[in-house]
Structure 1
Amino acid sequence: MSTGSILNISSYKFVALSDTQALRDALYQAALERELKGTVLIAEEGINLFLAGSAEGVRGWVDQLRADPRFADLAPKESWSEAVPFKKLLVKVKPEIIRMNMPAIRPDQLPRAPALPAATLARWLAQGHDDEGRPVVTLDTRNAFEVDYGTFDGAIDWRINKFTEFPAALAAHREELMGKTVVSFCTGGIRCEKAAIVLQQQGLDGPVYQLEGGILKYFEETGGPHYHGSCFVFDQREALDAGLAPSTDFVRPASEAHRG
């Protein structure tokens, strides 16, 4: 169990937003008043956020966001730390909340791939197949340096350096996914949600899922079986263990120097 007095949250939602600048200004002011730090990205396709501060401040900010019907069902993932792992507060309007450079891939406008609960993935990995007897593969949609901190046992890793490389990597490796149940995953769910839509459009002959809530939700709900190493996070904690506490048991990968 992680400890500390600082509450860290991460969440995202793909939802059509037409008032991005006004929303940015309101959320920035609300975070500033509560002395929160972190990053909030807003685009026409939705919101992506990582914030930290006092529990009262963070939860008050979330309550204000949920008062907007578009975000009423937002369910941030929580973890704790001894100090705020961000240096400043950034609230930005961007073209995409997670950049793929494929304008047609709009999760707020397209059918979402089925979300696979963490417990189901853990059970499938333990039994070696899905409930229909098909082989299951986990597909890591993160950057290579993140994978080097830890990943699922036997996960497919195409060694991409940034998420914009995923579509080309998929096109090059499509055949190795045929005949299998594919579970795409990432840190918190946002990348694998976009990736799963692209996977569905590739005409694979097996089911495609996205891991609900990503690795962090998997840690929270299962304790991390079939996953080795830690999970890289984009803040000063650097990596979290299966208990969602800052990890001290990792060797920083050489590839980490190339992140960006």
Structure 2
Amino acid sequence: MPEPHPAEPYTVAALYQFRALPDPAALREELRALGEQLGLCGTLIVAPEGINGTVAGSAAAVAELRAFLLAAGFEQMEYKESQASEQPFKRFKVRLKKEIVTLGVPVAPRERVGTYLDPHEWNALLADPDVLVVDTRNRYEVKAGTFQGAVDPEIDSFREFPAWVDEHLSGAEGKKIAMFCTGGIRCEKSTSLLLQKGFRDVFHLRGGILKYLEDVPESESRWDGECFVFDGRVTVGHGLREGGAVMCHSCGWPLTTEERQHPHFEEGVSCEHCFHRTTDAQKAAFRDRQRAYETGQR
């Protein structure tokens, strides 16, 4: 299928659904063939518990993928579209994994999850001083932006979240807990985890931050900053407009304009967050990689 016309933006679709799959390997092969045929880029994850991923391509190609998934039984997909001026992914991959988002402990998000709140209901909950609001994302995501008053667990991967709950929320089982993430999928598992541990009043933002930024006018927003996304756009803002951050390709941190003026920032090599964590040999390798990228040798 042809690429979008230069004047047309790319359509970016983020999707997931927890659904028992009897043969995830077979679905992976079907999706791999379809994605290549349609000229899509991005990553889809298939597991026995369902599907998750973000892809980008022409509007027609993304629509055809969605139609395929609906016909394959994913009628309850959490699905969001946004736009990108350039292709935000380099290639198309379909990965077969044990979980579509890795928590590392068994939970049952298809059977038991927290109370869903739509974006405008979420604002009302945030105004309740008795509610503990928890950001379930990784620390580099939180750095780009978060909700006012939210707790940052300062984790480097979602696998660390259960241990954080045991250490920091023990004894708070009777408290109202509200959790959020980028698109909603991590909160499906995190709310299921808390309910499994005896928490009673557990809430999560339906559709995640992306749905909130799409639906809630900036004048009514409780969101500060931009939302980190796992593609070439790096961040998006209200209305899902492309943000202003640039990713450090050494450590993955989203960098503001001011941070890119720091003496330790070198495009594709280092930033102030990782400069002292890599060796001279590693930085030299990163420079070679960056030169190859800039000259089109990759």
- Fold agreement, TM-score > 0.5: yes
Which residues of structure 2 form unaligned runs of 5+?
1-6, 246-254, 260-270, 278-298
Shift of residue 106, structure 1, vs aligned partner: 3.3
| 2:166 pairs with one of 161, 171, 176 | 171
Shift of residue 202, structure 1, vs aligned partner: 2.5
Contact preservation (8 Å) 1:138, 1:184: yes
Letter in 1 for 2:217: G
Please say if 1:158 is aligned against 2:153. yes
Letter in 2 for 1:211: L
CA RMSD of aligned residues (A): 2.1
Distance in 1 (CA, whole Å) between partners of 2:198 and 2:113 is 15
Give the structure 2 partner of residue 220 of structure 1. 214
Give the structure 2 partner of residue 60 of structure 1. 64
From the superposition, tell whether residues 78 and 20 of structure 1 become closer, same or farther in structure 2 (CA, over 3 Å). same
Contact preservation (8 Å) 1:9, 1:51: yes
Q: Deviations over 1:14-46 (max 9, x none)?
A: 110111111001111111111000000000011
Distance in 2 (CA, whole Å) between partners of 1:167 and 1:233 is 23
Shift of residue 92, structure 1, vs aligned partner: 1.1
Equivalence map 1:11-50=2 (5 Å): 11-50=15-54
After the TM superposition, which of the residue ranges 247-256 and 54-63 deviates more from structure 2? 247-256
Shift of residue 83, structure 1, vs aligned partner: 1.1
Pick 1 or 2: higher relative contact order, CA cutoff 8 A, min separation 6.
1
TM-score with structure 2 setting the length:
0.77
Q: Deviations over 1:161-201 (max 9, x none)?
A: 11000000000011474553211110001111101111112
Distance in 2 (CA, whole Å) between partners of 1:184 and 1:21 is 32
From the superposition, tell whether residues 168 and 60 of structure 1 become closer, same or farther in structure 2 (CA, over 3 Å). same
Shift of residue 53, structure 1, vs aligned partner: 0.3
Please say if 1:135 is aligned against 2:94. no
| 1:107 pairs with one of 105, 109, 113 | 109
From the superposition, tell whether residues 57 and 146 of structure 1 become closer, same or farther in structure 2 (CA, over 3 Å). same
After the TM superposition, which of the residue ranges 215-224 and 13-22 deviates more from structure 2? 215-224
Give the structure 1 partner of residue 232 of structure 2. 236
| 2:243 pairs with one of 242, 247, 251 | 247
From the superposition, tell whether residues 92 and 84 of structure 1 become closer, same or farther in structure 2 (CA, over 3 Å). same
Q: Secondary structure at the match of 2:83?
A: strand
Give the structure 2 partner of residue 200 of structure 1. 195
**Would you say how many aligned residue pairs link Structure 1 and Structure 2?**
246
Distance in 2 (CA, whole Å) between partners of 1:121 and 1:58 is 30
TM-score with structure 1 setting the length:
0.88
Q: Deviations over 1:58-104 (max 9, x none)?
A: 011110110122x02324101001111000000011011111111x2
* Percent identity over paired residues: 37
Letter in 2 for 1:115: Y
Which residues of structure 1 form unaligned runs of 5+?
none
Shift of residue 254, structure 1, vs aligned partner: 5.2
After the TM superposition, which of the residue ranges 59-68 and 248-257 deviates more from structure 2? 248-257
Distance in 2 (CA, whole Å) between partners of 1:255 and 1:55 is 37
Give the structure 2 partner of residue 122 of structure 1. 123
Q: Secondary structure at the match of 1:64?
A: helix
Give the structure 1 partner of residue 80 of structure 2. 77
Distance in 2 (CA, whole Å) between partners of 1:10 and 1:180 is 32
Distance in 1 (CA, whole Å) between partners of 2:32 and 2:39 is 10
Distance in 2 (CA, whole Å) between partners of 1:201 and 1:154 is 26
Distance in 1 (CA, whole Å) between partners of 2:91 and 2:274 is 22
Equivalence map 1:176-195=2 (5 Å): 177-195=172-190
From the superposition, tell whether residues 60 and 29 of structure 1 become closer, same or farther in structure 2 (CA, over 3 Å). same
Shift of residue 113, structure 1, vs aligned partner: 1.9
Give the structure 2 partner of residue 90 of structure 1. 93
- Is the radius of gyration larger for structure 1 or structure 2? 2
